[in-house]
Structure 1
């Protein structure tokens, strides 16, 4: 793990980089979530960009922006056929992975393990998560409706976007954190954007930095939402 990370937290699992997992008892292994990856279309051998969206405030917004003409190509589900993630083909070699809100982040390592072959075949991985500004720990909090922070692997180009890195002691957890950790371990280019918002609704003002990311990272024609819909419906942020 590179030293400039603010702090990336992910739960203990049988994921790819932890040698200690080899010594776990069979009794403990029975409790791990088992996921099945079901491709509805041909699995891509190479991807230019793989975008991972995690957190309910982001999902309906990003789906409206990017998925208006997108094709659902893959479903990741539990053994009892409960869908936990969907992958869309956005354009050419750009794919979007939606992590559904009911997915338990304690199983993030298992999900990352299931998509590790995709991460290895991707030129660049971009993860986006959302947090309420009350979770941002700093002596200098921007007085704006929303703002971005970024974590990246050593070989990712982040200078041109001029987004401040996430400083310590802030914590990132979940699938996005696991993907970033895996990418750093494997030498893959990856970025993790954290969108901090000061409201419990992703309105037009809060969404401006998110639109900036999607425009810069995808080079796709976006379908801009009209914000007539409440993009956040549960009254508390994805934790």
Structure 2
């Protein structure tokens, strides 16, 4: 069972609000993100599987390994006409939505609202999120390069997946988490795979768990190895 991510929890008392909040304008529409969907091909009326890929390390993996012949069919842009997401057609009625690094995850709720019609027309919804292992909270952290955890809606039997459910007090956020909550509300089957890696780049070894998942989910030949892109982050946050 999935809990509802993305909820706003207000303080029980105004004593917990910052003093500056009293002087902030109530109308923040000028800072509101605007998203625009542009279909390059006909919009699908029915989707067998809708797969959402999120997390910077997964992008080169998708580009090189997921499916060499995938076709770009939809672009989602922000108000500055910068791409924040791309939807690809993989095979038959299978579509992959890649969340690009430019997208700010604090706007995940608005993104989910923009693609709600695609979620409604999807028979199965799969989200894949990549996180650094330092974000995994547990008294027993696996001492391996990468491992998977899973969250799912009530209609999915997680035990058949052969992957341990994400235990408390771990928290996930972003588009995948929002999509999972929305799927729970509308009664759609959905799964969220969280790939934890011990590096800031995804190499062939770390990608093995998620590669196996995609092999089972997508009926096309995947490239098992890929060239890692160099790590280019300027700061390290622990």
**Counterparts in 2 of 1:11 and 1:107: CA distance versus 1, 3 Å:** farther
Deviation string, structure 1 residues 123-175 (Cα, Å, up to 9, x no partner): 11111111111111111111211100000000124332210000110010011
Q: Give the Cα–Cα distance (whole angstroms) in 2 for the partners of residues 56 and 140 of structure 1.
A: 26
The residue aligned with 1:182 is 182
1:80 deviation in Å?
2.4
Deviation string, structure 1 residues 206-231 (Cα, Å, up to 9, x no partner): 1110111111111221123333x326
SS in 2 for 1:173: coil
Contact 1:64 / 1:224 at 8 angstroms: preserved in 2? no
**Counterparts in 2 of 1:113 and 1:236: CA distance versus 1, 3 Å:** farther
Question: Is 1:108 matched with 2:105?
Answer: no
1:37 deviation in Å?
0.7
Q: Give the Cα–Cα distance (whole angstroms) in 1 for the partners of residues 216 and 98 of structure 2.
A: 19
TM-score normalized by the length of structure 2: 0.86
Contact 1:10 / 1:106 at 8 angstroms: preserved in 2? no
Question: Is 1:37 matched with 2:33?
Answer: no
Q: Aligned pairs, how many?
A: 222
The residue aligned with 1:172 is 172
For structure 1, the residue ranges without an aligned partner over 5 or more in a row are: 13-24
The residue aligned with 1:212 is 212
Q: Give the Cα–Cα distance (whole angstroms) in 2 for the partners of residues 163 and 81 of structure 1.
A: 39
The residue aligned with 1:60 is 60
For structure 2, the residue ranges without an aligned partner over 5 or more in a row are: 9-24
Contact 1:54 / 1:98 at 8 angstroms: preserved in 2? yes
The residue aligned with 1:134 is 134
Q: CA RMSD in A?
A: 2.2
Q: What does 1:15-26 align with in structure 2 at a 5 Å threshold?
A: none
Of 1, 6, 25 in structure 2, the residue corresponding to residue 10 of structure 1 is 6
